[in-house]
Amino acid sequence: MDVNGYIRIVDRIKDLILVSGFNVYPNEVEAAAALHPGILEAACVGVPDEKSGEAIKLFVVKRLPELTEEDVRDHCKLYLTSYKVPKHIHFLETLPKSPVGKILRKELRH
């Protein structure tokens, strides 16, 4: 809140991903990815893309070491419309989290 009493959103508004004019909510992509038995955790963010404005980048913590990008993408195609399927998939050992355990997407964008 500023000195005039106005409230300004400074963080989570950017969670919405705009792909070729379509709204993509990260929670929907993450929930679809999490249905894969080889995925322990997943988080996604929007990244700049020349063709579509933004593209979906999915960060995955593997449950099964043999999990590949193609496995994840094929799985997501079963549950999501084509513009919601992650274009980029990146595997991490852990996802950045707040002290209360919330995934910090802001850190994944950097």
What whole-number distance in Å separates Cα of residue 52 and Cα of residue 82?
A: 13
**12-108 CATH pick, 1.10.540.10, 3.40.50.2300, 3.40.50.720, 3.30.300.30:** 3.30.300.30
Which tens digits make up the pLDDT trace of 45-98?
Answer: 999 999 999 999 999 999 999 999 999 999 999 999 999 999 999 999 999 999
The pTM of the full predicted model, rounded to 2 decimals, is: 0.86
Domain extent listing, the chain? 12-108
The number of beta carbons lying within 10 Å of the beta carbon of residue 33 is 24
Provide the 3-class DSSP secondary structure of residue 107: helix
- What is the pLDDT, as a whole number, of residue 21? 93
Contacts of residue 44, Cβ cutoff 8 Å, sequence gap at least 6: 17, 26, 29, 30, 33, 56, 57, 58, 59, 86, 105
